Structure 1
Amino acid sequence: MASAIYSCKECGVDLNLSPHYLFPAEVYFEAGNKGTLSFSAIDASKFRFQKEDKIRPFFETLDYWGIQRKRTKIICNSCGRLVGHVYDDGPPITDGPGQFHFGPSQVIPRAPRYRFKTKALTVSPHT
């Protein structure tokens, strides 16, 4: 796996995101992947987190929509730019058959997924 440095496009600070924790682009998530990079873990000291709870219709993808959106904003600690969101649609935390044996559902706790907008990042090869 090629190593890369992910920086904030606004201020240029290294966000210390490890390609080791990057989900492959073809992995399916309810909230989608378009125009984003998703990580399973990040260095929380580089960011501020702000809870967001909106009650209004929203559409993530053609097939994924809802009325109440609960997510957390990821904000660059250095300049205050919004760089992404935390979603709770990562891999299931427990390895089980799911509710009524239908597989993972909202009832089963899921790992957080840190979804960064590609237009908010600068990606450069590690030298």
Structure 2
Amino acid sequence: MVRSHHSHSSSIHDVTYSCGYCGYALNLCSSARNTAGIGSTKYGKQIKKGVVAFLAVDETRFTRADEVTCAPHFRSARSWGLFRRRSRLLCRKCGGRIGAVYEEEKEEDDSAVLSEYGGSDDDDLPTSSGSSGGASRRRNFVIRISALQPSSDDSAAVPFSL
């Protein structure tokens, strides 16, 4: 068995994505995916729902539309909230809906958040309403698979480095 060169193999595994509607480069890389829950049944529900979680995105490529809804909702089996905040991520070029961003407390399990999101309407995002109480918060990005297309430019597959 012949092994490929290390520098070449990283470009094979990392995929960059563009907007599925207009082809605008989103600078979204598969290496930034949130893979903490892969292998669990909760992750399978997430994929069936048609979304993938990312830890980071290039926010200059998106327009954010912040929304707050007022309706009771369950955040977990033991917690519920009244206000649900969400920020939709829209393609900066065509305005197509790519996904959403939400914040979570650091102590919360990633797979629990993915399950909670995957089990609800894809417009509803699990968020904590109210003050953080000193707990650190992390932003998660949930991207619709149907709103992405792999970038056709070969140079985009090579990670940027200085």
1:15 counterpart (26, 33, 36): 26
Asked whether the equivalents of residues 88 and 113 of structure 1 are also in contact (C-alpha less than 8 Å), the reply is: yes
- Structure-1 separation of matches of 2:63 and 2:85: 17
Asked whether the equivalents of residues 23 and 40 of structure 1 are also in contact (C-alpha less than 8 Å), the reply is: yes
> Partner amino acid for 2:57?
I
Equivalent in the alignment of 1:43 = 58
2:94 counterpart (79, 89, 101): 79
In the superposition, the TM-score normalised over structure 1's length comes to: 0.69
Larger-gyration structure (1/2): 2
- Structure-1 separation of matches of 2:28 and 2:78: 30
Structure 1 unaligned regions, length at least 5: 94-104
Equivalent in the alignment of 2:15 = 4
For 1:18-69, what per-residue CA distance to the aligned partner results, in whole angstroms no more than 9, with x for missing partners?
222111172689xx83421111111111011111101124578999864321
In the superposition, the TM-score normalised over structure 2's length comes to: 0.56
Asked whether the equivalents of residues 3 and 125 of structure 1 are also in contact (C-alpha less than 8 Å), the reply is: no
Corresponding residue SS for 1:53: strand
- Structure showing the higher helix proportion among its residues: 2
Equivalent in the alignment of 1:67 = 82
Structure 1 residues 61-70 or 18-27, which shifts more?
A: 61-70
Equivalent in the alignment of 1:111 = 138
C-alpha change, 1:21 and 1:48, in structure 2 (3 Å) is same
C-alpha change, 1:62 and 1:125, in structure 2 (3 Å) is farther
Corresponding residue SS for 2:60: helix
C-alpha change, 1:26 and 1:48, in structure 2 (3 Å) is same
- Structure-2 separation of matches of 1:19 and 1:61: 28
Structure 2 unaligned regions, length at least 5: 1-9, 108-127, 155-162
- Structure showing the higher strand proportion among its residues: 1
How high is the sequence identity, in percent, across the aligned residues? 29
